[in-house]
Amino acid sequence: MSPSLSLNPVDDFNALTTYPFMVNALEAGTIIAVLAAVVGWYMVLRRQSFAGHTLSVMAFPGAAGAALAGLPTALGYYLACGAAAVFMRGGRSGSGLGSPGRGYGTETATIATVQTVGLAAGFLFLSLNNAVLGGTETLLFGTFLGVSRGQVLTLLLVAIAALAMVAAATRPLLLETIDPEGARARGLPVAALDLGFLLVLALAVAATSQITGALLVFALLVAPPAAAQQLTMRPGLGLVLSVVFALAVVWLGLGVAYFSIWPVGFYVTSFAFALYLAARLWHTTARRRHRGD
């Protein structure tokens, strides 16, 4: 069934782009790679991976709720993720002057609660709908090869909106990420930045998980930025590396899966994992070498 690899790059590229579904997959993959890599870079630096994970789980109640209400599934994703972001932000304890640091303790508990409630709501929607939810597997593991033209266009618009918001706030968001008390003292709208970032993260997760599935969002949202942060501490270079890694993982994953019988999600995740491992290894040996000097 699957096309064979000719080892001639031009022929292979032509083979890859013969079918419209593959072109759509490559375009959608490229868009979400850039989006997930940039938003994920901040998420990893902000230690909000748990929040990101919870948002990705929201795809389940989102899809189930949309099916129940007769709304488009994509809309369900965005609504559920957005609502979860607002709830999670509302749970953060307001730390004033003299109470240093973020309220990580309370935050983790709040996020865990949001996650549980989300899953419970999803389960409820599912039973109310007589357990009819088209493509549970798709929901969890993605539909890389079933992306439509319309989806690509929507993704592009969402990505542009989310990236524009991040671009406008690159430095204030960085300052607020590593030193929230300092940012507050300098008059930055810390609460707005917090909520704004969670909403952008919600957008990115909702967009990405439609393609990669709820369980594989992480392959793109965490591994490339985390690997980039192992390799460089420079913010600008880190962001660029993160995007390059995410693109490499997606393109490689799609390319290899095309010539194989195993699913895209498996390859994308495996490549992301391998990349992260390699970066960790490089970081550790570089440090050991540095100490040896």
Structure token pair of residue 193: 């930045």
Closer CB to other proteins, residue 69 or residue 277?
A: 277
Closer residue to other proteins in complex, CB, 29/238: 238
Nearer to other proteins, 193 or 250 (CB): 193
Would you say 38 and 242 are in contact if contact means Cβ atoms under 8 Å apart?
yes
Residues sharing a CB contact under 8 Å with residue 228, sequence separation 6 or more, in sequence order:
41, 238, 239, 241, 242, 245, 279
CB 228 within 8 A of CB 272: no
Closest to other proteins by CB, 77 or 245: 245
Q: How far is the CB of 278 from other proteins (least distance, A)?
A: 17
Q: Return the number of the residue (9 or 187) whose C-beta is nearest other proteins.
A: 187
CB of 271: closest distance to other proteins in angstroms? 22
Provide the terminal-to-terminal Cα distance of the chain, rounded to the nearest Å.
Answer: 55
| Of residues 149 and 234, the one with the C-beta less far from other proteins | 234
In angstroms, give the least distance from the CB of 174 to other proteins. 7
| Residues in touch with other proteins (CB under 8 A) | 45, 47, 97-98, 100-101, 167-172, 174-175, 178-179, 181-188, 229-230, 233-236, 238
The nearest distance, CB 53 to other proteins, in angstroms, is: 18
State the nearest-atom distance from the C-beta of 110 to other proteins, in Å. 20
Q: Report the nearest approach of other proteins to the CB of residue 189 (Å).
A: 10
Q: Least distance to other proteins from the beta carbon of 75, Å?
A: 31
State the nearest-atom distance from the C-beta of 187 to other proteins, in Å.
Answer: 7
| Minimum CB distance to other proteins smaller for 47 or for 149 | 47
> Between residues 91 and 103, which has the closer beta carbon with respect to other proteins?
103
3-state secondary structure the chain: CCCCCCCCHHHHHHHHCCCHHHHHHHHHHHHHHHHHHHHHHHHHHCCCHHHHHHHHHCHHHHHHHHHHHCCCHHHHHHHHHHHHHHHHHHCCCCCCCCCCCCCHHHHHHHHHHHHHHHHHHHHHHHHHCCCCCCCHHHHHHCCHHHCCHHHHHHHHHHHHHHHHHHHHCHHHHHHHHHCHHHHHHCCCCHHHHHHHHHHHHHHHHHHHHHHHCCCCHHHHHCHHHHHHHHHCCCHHHHHHHHHHHHHHHHHHHHHHHHCCCCCHHHHHHHHHHHHHHHHHHHHHHHHHHHHHC
